[in-house]
Amino acid sequence: MSNLFNYKNDYKKRNGRLFYEIWGDLEAQNTTLKIIIVLMSLITSTSLLTAFYTYKANRIPVVIRVNSAGNAKVLRNLPFNNKTGMGEIVYFSKSFVREFTGFNSIMIKTELSRALNKMSETYGKKTLRAIIRSRFIQKMEKADITSKIKFKKIKLIKQTVNHDELKLYVIRTVISNTDTSAKNAAAYEDKLILKRIKRSVQYPFGLEIVYFSSLKLGGA
């Protein structure tokens, strides 16, 4: 009888050891697989991020070329060193003037943001500080107005290898949003100096504003 009990005890011990050995091996394998999966996920994520930023840094932008008549043509895969044409200079300048001086209480933040993005980094920071200091945005939002800009004449005053100086003669009509019959129109001479830079995703026109001034000529 004692032999039978000894046999049962030995059997339990052998099965117990066998169970824990198999379970331990499976647990170790699962842990190893988890580590491998995590490492593969990290490698895949790193590869995707690297590929994305490499593409973003090196892709050639889509450029919308505008001729002197104002007709637009989309050019894809345009080389970065392609020279900026006069039509692009005029279109870029008119867009900037509309955004920077087209006073609109509802769209003031959006328009100013677009105009600031067309400026050089140094000139943009200087202009932004002046806007914040004068509380211009808050005043514009409170004024509840909109405006229309009509371009009368655009003159290329001076052109060098890297810069273009223009004068734009415009009529600005400011209109009250609460009473559309309340209007105030005036003529202005806007002066712009553009710097030619390398085309990029941020600067597809290859231009940036380095100077702007506006002189009121009188009522229109």
Q: What is the pLDDT of residues 159-201, one digit of tens each?
A: 998 999 999 999 999 988 888 777 889 999 999 999 999 888 7
Q: What is the pLDDT of residues 24-49, one digit of tens each?
A: 565 666 676 667 666 676 666 666 66
Percent of the chain predicted with pLDDT > 90: 37
pLDDT band per the 50, 70, 90 thresholds, residue 102: confident
More confident residue, 94 or 17: 94
Q: What is the pTM of this model?
A: 0.62
* pLDDT score recorded for residue 45: 67
Q: Do 185 and 173 touch, CB atoms closer than 8 A?
A: yes
What is the distance between the alpha carbons of residues 67 and 86, in angstroms, rounded to a whole number?
7
Radius of gyration of the chain measured on its C-alpha atoms: 34
| Backbone φ, ψ for residue 130 (5° rounding) | -65, -40
Choice among 20-24, 79-83, 92-96, 168-172 with the minimum mean pLDDT: 20-24
pLDDT band per the 50, 70, 90 thresholds, residue 220: low
Tell me the C-alpha to C-alpha distance, in Å, between residue 133 and each of 16, 120, 126, 127, 139.
79, 20, 11, 10, 12
Inter-axis angle of helices 108-117 and 86-101, nearest 10: 140
Tokens of 92: 């870029």
Q: What is the pLDDT of residues 194-219, one digit of tens each?
A: 999 988 878 888 899 999 999 998 87
> How confident is the model over 135-156, as a mean pLDDT?
90
Name the DSSP letter for residue 65.
E
What is the distance between the alpha carbons of residues 4 and 203, in angstroms, rounded to a whole number?
90
* pLDDT score recorded for residue 117: 92
- Residue 94: pLDDT over 50: yes
What is the distance between the alpha carbons of residues 214 and 189, in angstroms, rounded to a whole number?
6
Average pLDDT, the chain: 78
- Residue 60: pLDDT over 90: no
- Residue 75: pLDDT over 90: no
* pLDDT score recorded for residue 161: 87
Q: Do 173 and 152 touch, CB atoms closer than 8 A?
A: no
* pLDDT score recorded for residue 126: 94
What is the distance between the alpha carbons of residues 127 and 150, in angstroms, rounded to a whole number?
24
- Residue 11: pLDDT over 80: no
| Backbone φ, ψ for residue 27 (5° rounding) | -65, -40
Q: Give me the residue label for tokens 């009888």.
A: 1
